[in-house]
């Protein structure tokens, strides 16, 4: 009850921020990010767009990968309209395609740019029938998790090099959701059964599995980074409930009524982007890794997301999936 009251009131937690804090407010402590390069997936709308806008406003070079280059160019124009001196690059990336992820990583690395921040923000909620990616993976899982797993794997070397060369700690932010707690079964069995059409497809369950994978990925990656001695951290965030394009697609009387009733719980997009920006650049998070954050404060993930053995199991399964899609092995972390 107390937690709900604090959320509704926006009362600050230990970080000094709360549910009503905005992305601009949480980055006020770091007004000049001119030495940073950030890749932000899903930055053509919603939370990702606000994250890109605020980081660019603070001076960071922002790379916007997108399936629709036109949408990314439009976002670049909007940022430049507000911040004429902003450095914004646009590159093509379809996260549901592992070949596209590899192409993007090769192209980015060929530019010779440093990489300080990787914000894995893009999210998809599939509607209607089961859809598989070109690699034969359930589409929501492919886009929300597996594409980001491979992207992180391919770019980590550049992040480690950048941190060593500049003395500036790299940060990876995985955007998950509290919906990850809605799934408590065996994710591997679920993916196998749903892909083979042995069970009915449930879009909400598929989304929950992908968000659970984001949290488990964060846990295992943090442990591996520590073992490597890399000056790179990774944290996972729940942005909060916000009506973005992800759920606006589900128009209808019931959906609209639900959002009216829940209006007091909904965040604005600037508020929803706050935890991502906090995790990406706030000084308080220096050296902090493997955490799950909500409302700019540390929170507890679901029991299913807290298992190191399940995180390691997911990692191996992910390695197997990406290896099956390529004749050449990807660089190991």
Distance CA 7, CA 18 (A): 7
* φ/ψ of residue 234, rounded to 5: -140, 130
Among all chains, which residue has been given the structure tokens 């992180």?
A: 152
> Could you give the residue numbers annotated as active site?
201
With a CB cutoff of 8 Å and minimum separation 6, the contacts of 153 are 322, 330, 331, 332, 333
Torsion 276-277-281-282 (CA) sign: negative
* φ/ψ of residue 64, rounded to 5: -110, 105
Distance CA 263, CA 260 (A): 5
- Helices 203-228 and 147-166: crossing angle in degrees, nearest 10, is 30
With a CB cutoff of 8 Å and minimum separation 6, the contacts of 305 are 180, 181, 212, 215, 216, 219, 292
- Cβ contact 280:173 at 8 Å: yes
Q: Three-state SS for 71?
A: helix
Torsion 244-247-249-255 (CA) sign: negative
């Amino acid at each position: 009850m107390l937690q709900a009251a604090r959320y509704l009131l926006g009362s600050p937690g230990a970080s000094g921020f709360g549910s009503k804090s905005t992305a601009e407010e949480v980055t006020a402590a770091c007004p000049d990010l001119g030495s940073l390069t950030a890749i932000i997936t899903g930055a053509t709308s919603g939370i990702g767009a606000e994250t890109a806008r605020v980081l660019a406003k603070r001076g960071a070079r922002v790379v916007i990968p997108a399936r629709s280059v036109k949408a990314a160019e439009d976002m670049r124009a909007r940022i430049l309209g507000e911040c004429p001196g902003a450095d914004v690059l646009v590159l093509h990336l379809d996260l549901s395609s592992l070949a596209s992820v590899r192409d993007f990583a090769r192209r980015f690395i060929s530019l010779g740019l440093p990489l300080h921040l990787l914000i894995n923000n893009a999210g998809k909620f599939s509607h209607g029938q089961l859809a598989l990616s070109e690699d034969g993976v359930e589409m929501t899982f492919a886009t929300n998790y597996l594409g980001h797993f491979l992207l992180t794997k391919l770019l980590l070397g550049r992040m480690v090099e950048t941190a060593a060369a500049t003395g500036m700690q790299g940060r990876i932010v995985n955007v998950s959701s509290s919906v990850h707690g809605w799934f408590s079964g065996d994710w591997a069995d679920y993916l196998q059964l749903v892909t083979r059409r042995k069970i009915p497809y449930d879009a909400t369950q598929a989304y929950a599995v992908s968000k659970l994978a984001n949290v488990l990925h964060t846990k295992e990656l943090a442990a591996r980074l520590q073992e490597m001695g890399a000056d790179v951290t990774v944290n996972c965030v729940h942005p909060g409930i916000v009506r973005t394009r992800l759920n606006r697609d589900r128009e209808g009387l019931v959906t609209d009524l639900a959002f009216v009733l829940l209006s007091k719980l909904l965040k604005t997009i600037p508020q929803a982007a706050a935890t991502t920006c906090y995790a990406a650049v706030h000084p308080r998070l220096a050296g902090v890794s493997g955490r799950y954050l909500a409302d700019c404060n540390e929170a507890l993930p679901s029991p299913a997301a807290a298992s190191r053995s399940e995180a390691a199991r997911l990692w191996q399964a992910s390695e197997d999936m990406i290896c099956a899609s390529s004749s050449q092995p990807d660089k190991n972390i």
